[in-house]
C-alpha cells in the first residue's frame, strides 16, 4: 500500500506564489511507486483546499475556475488517522486522508513554525524542521543573536522595531550610521529578498526603512560587504546525522540577490522554475579551505538550530580578505535546493524519498519519549467552584 503524502503549500505570505512553484516541482518528482500525493493548498485568506485541479500550475492564473473546482477542507485527527474533512455542506464528508504531511511553504505565517505547530498539535508525522528551528530561522534578529552567542561569524548589524523609529528617528539613524555606508535594510521575518534594499547615504536609508516597515514591524540593518561573493550550501539530515551538498556561487543583477533575480529573471514568456532558475556556478569558485570552512559552519548552524530535513544556508564571503559570514538559514528553501543535491549526485526523486524516510524516522524517535502521564492531578482538587475567588484546594 502506498504512503499518502499531504503536500501543504501556499499561505498568507509574500512568498505565496513561490511556494506553489516549489510544491508542484516536488509533486512532479515524488516516487509514484511508493507515494500517493494529496495536494493541500492554503489560499491568501488562510483557507485550506484539496483537489486535483491544484496540480496544474496554469489553473492558478484563473482564480475563478480554480476555486470552483477545489474543495474547502480542514485537516484533523480521528482515531489515530488524519482526515481531510469537507468544510461546507450539511455533513462533514471525508474527502481524503493522509499518512504524513510535507509542508513546502515559504515565509512568514507558514514557514516560521506556524504550520508545523499545527501539525505537532494533532500528532501527524511531517517533513522538515520543528517549531523552534523554524521560528528562529525565520527571525533574522533572534537567529543572529543565537549564532553570535555560539561564536559563529556574522556581519555587524543594528535592529529595531518600527515604533522605535517613529519615536526616535535620529537615534536609530545615528546607530545605523556607525556601521558605515553602504548598508542593507531588511524586514526581519520575511524571505525571498522582499522589502530589502541597499542604502548608500542617510536619505536612501530613510527610504529603505519606509519600504521595509511595510512588511514587518521588526527591522534589521547590516553592513554591506563591498567585494562580495554569495555562496549557498544545502544540508540534509537531522541532529544525529547530516550531510552538506555541493556549494553554489550565486550571481544577481542587483547589489544583492533580489526577488527578481530569484524568481522573475529570465526571458520573457518563459515559466519560472523558482530558485532553480537563478544564475549560479556550481561548484562555487572558492578555495578548498574556504569550502571546508563553509561545510563546517553549515553543520554547526544545522545543529545549533536543531534543524531537520533539507535546508539552505546562505553565506557572504568577503573576497578582499577571504572572511566568510553566515547570512541566514532557509528552513524550507525554494525548490527544496534540489539543484544543489543534483550536482552532489542525488537526483530529485531520491532527495524527496530521503526526506520522507527521515520524517518517519524522526516521528518514530519522538514517539519513544514521554509527553504525558497516566496520573490525573484533577483527582486531587476538592471543591473547585466558579465565581470571583478560587476556593478549591490543590494537593500536591
pLDDT at 268: 46
The answer to whether position 8 is within a domain reads: yes
pLDDT at 275: 57
Residues 99 and 10 in one domain: yes
C-alpha cell at 360: 518517519
Residues 236 and 334 in one domain: yes
Q: Please, are residues 357 and 34 in contact by the beta-carbon 8 Å criterion? A: no
* Start-to-end C-alpha separation, the chain: 49
Residues 245 and 143 in one domain: yes
Residues 215 and 280 in one domain: no
Residues 119 and 182 in one domain: no
Residue 359: closest CA among 309, 304, 299: 309
Spatial distance between the Cα atoms of 300 and 152, rounded to a whole number of angstroms:
9
The answer to whether position 388 is within a domain reads: no
The answer to whether position 396 is within a domain reads: no
Residues 72 and 205 in one domain: no
Domain that residue 58 falls in: 3-126
Residues 146 and 256 in one domain: yes
* CA distances to 7, 159, 270, 393 from 30, in Å: 11, 41, 24, 56
Q: Is 241 exposed, middle or buried (0-12, 13-18, 19+ CB in 10 A)?
A: exposed
Residue where one domain finishes, among candidates 177, 196, 223: 223
Residue 303: closest CA among 349, 250, 235: 235
The enclosing domain of 108 has a CATH number of 3.40.50.20
Residues 358 and 232 in one domain: yes
Total domains present in the chain: 3
Residues 233 and 352 in one domain: yes
The answer to whether position 143 is within a domain reads: yes
Residues 97 and 215 in one domain: no
Q: Please, are residues 320 and 227 in contact by the beta-carbon 8 Å criterion? A: yes
Residue where one domain finishes, among candidates 223, 254, 281: 223
pLDDT at 267: 46
The enclosing domain of 181 has a CATH number of 3.30.1490.20
Spatial distance between the Cα atoms of 9 and 7, rounded to a whole number of angstroms:
7
pLDDT, tens digit only, all 396 positions of the chain: 899 999 999 999 999 999 999 999 999 999 999 999 999 999 999 999 999 999 999 999 999 999 999 999 999 999 899 999 998 766 667 889 999 999 999 999 999 999 999 999 999 999 999 999 999 999 999 999 999 999 999 999 999 999 999 999 999 999 999 999 999 999 999 876 789 999 999 999 999 999 999 999 999 999 999 899 999 999 999 999 999 999 999 987 556 555 455 545 544 444 555 555 568 999 999 999 999 999 999 999 999 999 999 999 999 999 999 999 999 999 999 999 999 999 999 999 999 999 999 999 999 999 998 888 777 777 777 766 655 555 555 454
For the chain, give the secondary structure using H, E and C.
CCEEEEEEEECCCCCHHHHHHHHHHHHHHCCCCCEEEEEEEECCCCCEEECHHHHCHHHHHCHHHHHHCCEEEEEEEECCEEEEEECCCCCCCEEEEECEEEECCCCCCCCCCHHHHHHHHHCCCECCCCHHHHHHHHCHHHHHHHHHHCCCCCCCEEEEEHHHHHHCHHHHHHHHHCCCCCEEEEECCCCCCCCCEEECCHHHHHHHHHHHCCCCCEEEEEECCCCEEEEEEEEEECCCCEEECCCEEECCCCCCCCHHHHHHCCCCCCCCCHHHHCCEECCCCCCHHHHHHHHHHHHHHHHHCCCCEEEEEEEEEECCCCEEEEEEEECCCHHHHHHHHHHCCCCHHHHHHHHHHHHHHHHHHHHCCCCCCCCCHHHHEECCCCCCCCCCEECC
pLDDT at 387: 53
pLDDT at 271: 54
Residues 193 and 310 in one domain: no
The answer to whether position 205 is within a domain reads: yes
Residue 183: closest CA among 167, 172, 170: 172
Cis peptide before 182 (omega within 30 of 0): yes
Residue 101: closest CA among 6, 26, 197: 6
The answer to whether position 324 is within a domain reads: yes
Residues 99 and 161 in one domain: no
Amino acid at each position: 500500500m502506498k504512503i499518502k503524502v499531504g503536500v501543504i503549500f501556499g499561505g498568507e505570505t509574500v512568498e505565496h506564489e513561490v511556494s506553489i512553484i516549489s510544491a508542484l516541482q516536488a509533486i512532479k518528482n515524488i516516487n509514484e511507486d511508493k507515494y500517493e500525493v494529496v495536494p493541500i493548498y492554503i489560499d491568501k485568506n488562510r483557507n485550506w483546499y484539496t483537489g486535483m485541479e491544484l496540480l496544474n500550475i496554469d489553473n492558478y492564473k484563473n482564480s475563478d475556475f480554480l476555486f470552483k473546482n477545489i474543495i474547502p477542507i480542514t485537516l484533523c485527527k480521528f482515531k489515530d488517522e488524519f482526515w481531510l474533512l469537507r468544510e461546507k455542506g450539511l455533513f462533514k464528508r471525508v474527502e481524503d486522508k493522509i499518512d504524513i504531511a510535507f509542508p513546502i511553504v515559504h515565509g512568514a505565517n507558514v514557514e516560521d513554525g506556524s504550520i508545523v505547530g499545527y501539525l505537532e498539535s494533532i500528532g501527524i508525522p511531517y517533513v522538515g524542521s520543528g517549531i523552534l528551528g523554524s521560528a528562529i530561522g525565520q527571525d533574522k534578529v533572534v537567529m543572529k543573536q543565537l549564532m553570535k552567542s555560539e561564536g559563529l561569524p556574522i556581519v555587524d548589524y543594528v535592529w529595531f522595531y518600527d515604533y522605535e523609529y517613529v519615536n526616535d528617528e535620529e537615534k536609530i539613524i545615528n546607530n545605523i550610521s556607525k556601521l558605515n555606508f553602504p548598508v542593507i535594510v531588511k524586514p526581519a521575518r520575511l524571505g525571498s529578498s522582499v522589502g530589502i534594499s541597499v542604502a548608500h547615504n542617510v536619505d536612501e536609508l530613510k527610504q529603505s526603512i519606509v519600504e521595509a516597515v511595510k512588511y514587518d514591524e521588526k527591522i534589521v540593518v547590516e553592513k554591506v560587504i563591498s567585494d562580495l561573493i554569495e555562496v549557498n550550501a544545502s544540508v540534509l539530515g537531522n541532529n544525529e546525522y547530516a550531510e552538506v551538498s555541493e556549494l553554489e556561487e550565486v550571481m544577481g543583477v542587483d547589489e544583492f540577490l533580489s526577488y527578481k533575480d530569484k524568481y522573475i529573471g529570465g526571458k520573457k514568456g518563459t515559466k519560472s522554475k523558482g530558485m532553480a532558475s537563478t544564475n549560479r556556478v556550481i561548484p562555487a569558485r572558492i578555495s578548498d579551505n574556504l569550502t571546508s570552512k563553509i561545510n563546517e559552519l553549515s553543520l554547526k548552524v544545522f545543529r545549533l538550530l536543531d534543524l531537520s530535513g533539507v535546508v539552505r544556508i546562505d553565506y557572504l564571503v568577503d573576497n578582499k580578505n577571504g572572511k566568510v559570514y553566515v547570512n541566514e538559514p532557509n528552513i524550507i528553501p525554494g525548490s527544496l535546493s534540489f539543484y544543489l543535491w543534483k550536482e552532489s549526485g542525488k537526483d530529485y526523486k531520491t532527495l524527496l524519498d530521503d526526506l520522507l524516510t527521515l520524517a518517519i524516522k524522526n516521528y518514530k524517535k519522538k514517539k519513544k519519549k514521554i509527553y504525558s502521564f497516566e496520573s490525573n492531578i484533577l483527582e486531587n482538587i476538592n471543591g473547585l467552584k466558579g465565581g470571583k475567588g478560587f476556593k478549591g484546594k490543590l494537593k500536591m
